[in-house]
Structure 1
Amino acid sequence: MQPSSDQTISPFSVRKRSFQIFDDISSEQVGALRRWLMRGQNFIVEWLEADADGATTSVQSQHETLVLLPEAGGTIHQGQKPAVAAPAGSICIVPAGPYSITLQRGGRYCVIASSRDDIDLNEVLNAAAYVDPDPRVNPVGTPYRRQTCHDAVQVLQLDDIVPPADNPRLKMFQTETLSINWVAYDGPRARTQLSPHSHSSHEQGSLAIQGRYKHHLRVKWGKDANLWQDDEHCDAPSPSLLVIPVYLIHTSEGVGDEKHVLVDIFSPPRADFIAKGWVYNANDYQAGA
Structure 2
Amino acid sequence: MSNQTIMATQARHYASAAQQVAPGASTWLTRGANFVVAVTQASAGTELARDNNPDEYMVYLVDTAAVIEAGKERIEASADSLTIVPPGASRVTLSGAGQVVRVFSTKASDLASAAGNAGLYAAGAPEVAPLQAWPDPVGGFKLRNYLVSEHTKPDSNMRIFRSSNLMINIMTARQVARDVHKLSPHSHADFEQGSLAISGDWVHHMRYPWTVDMTTWKEDEHIEMGSPSLLVIPPKVIHTSRNVNDGGSALIDIFAPPRMDFSSKPGMVCNAAEYPMPAVQPA
TM norm structure 2: 0.91
Kindly indicate whether the alpha-carbon contact (under 8 Å) linking 1:29 and 1:35 is maintained by their aligned counterparts in 2: yes
- Offset from partner CA, 1:230-263 (integer Å, 9 cap, x none): 1111111110000011111111101110211111
Change (3 A) 1:275 1:210: same
Post-superposition Cα deviations, 1:213-232, rounded to whole Å, max 9, x if no partner, equal: 10011113344211110111
- Report the equivalent of 1:264: 253
Q: Is the 8 A contact 1:37 1:47 kept in 2?
A: yes
Shift of 1:123: 2.0
> 1:192–1:115: structure 2 CA closer, same or farther, 3 Å change rule?
same
* Cα distance between partner residues in 2 of 1:206 and 1:137: 17
Structure 1 distance, partners of 2:46, 2:133, is: 35
How far is 1:64 from its partner? 1.3
1:68–1:217 Cα change, 3 Å: same
For the Cα contact (< 8 Å) 2:202–2:243, is it kept in 1? yes
Change (3 A) 1:74 1:117: same
User: Once the two structures are superposed, what CA deviation does each residue of 1:1-39 show, in whole Å capped at 9, x if it has no partner?
Assistant: xxxxxxxx43x6363101111136321312221111110
Correspondence 1:49-64 to 2 at 5 A: 49-51=41-43, 53-59=44-50, 60-64=52-56
Partners of 1:162 and 1:42 in 2: CA distance: 28
Which residue, out of 191, 199, 211, partners 2:200?
211
Do structure 1's residue 123 and structure 2's residue 114 form an aligned pair? yes
Choose which of 30, 36, 43 in structure 1 pairs with 2:35: 43
Equivalent of 2:162 in 159, 170, 174: 174
Of the structure 1 ranges 108-117 and 274-283, higher mean CA displacement relative to structure 2 is found in: 108-117
Sequence identity (%):
33
What are the ranges of 5 or more consecutive residues in structure 1 without an aligned counterpart?
1-8
C-alpha distance in 2 between matches for 1:164 and 1:187: 17
- Structure 1 SS opposite 2:197: strand
Task: Indicate the residue corresponding to 1:234 in structure 2.
Answer: 223
Q: Give the match for residue 150 of structure 2.
A: 160
* CA distance in 1: counterparts of 2:240 and 2:214, whole angstroms: 24
Q: Could you tell me whether the CA contact under 8 Å between 1:144 and 1:175 is conserved in 2?
A: no
AA paired with 2:58? L
In the TM superposition, residue 159 of structure 1 has moved relative to its aligned partner by: 1.2
Structure 2 residue runs without a partner (length 5+): none
CA separation of 1:225 and 1:115: change in aligned 2, threshold 3 A: closer
Q: Which residue is equivalent to 1:4? A: none
Where in structure 1 do 4 or more consecutive aligned residues deviate above 4 Å? Answer: none
Name the structure 2 match of 1:33: 25
Q: Would the alpha carbon gap of residues 62 and 210 (structure 1) be closer, same or farther in structure 2, given more than 3 Å must change? A: same
Please state if 1:191 is matched with 2:170: no
Give the partner amino acid of 1:64: E
- Give 1:144-159 correspondences, 5 Å limit: 144-148=135-139, 150-159=140-149
C-alpha contact 2:14 2:226 (8 A) present in aligned 1: no
Query: SS state of the match for residue 286, structure 1?
Result: coil
Report if the CA contact (8 A) 1:61-1:113 is conserved: no
Shift of the alpha carbon at 1:124? 1.0
Q: 2:66 aligns with which of 74, 77, 84?
A: 74
Partner SS for 1:151: coil
Distance 1:171 1:120, change over 3 A: closer
What is the aligned counterpart of 1:17 among 8, 12, 20?
Answer: 8
Cα distance change on mapping 1:154 and 1:244 into 2, 3 Å: same
Q: Do the aligned partners of 2:67 and 2:95 also contact (CA within 8 Å) in 1?
A: no
Inter-partner Cα distance in structure 2 for 1:127 and 1:33: 21
Which has the larger displacement, 36-45 or 120-129? 120-129
Q: What do you get for the CA RMSD once the two structures are aligned?
A: 1.8
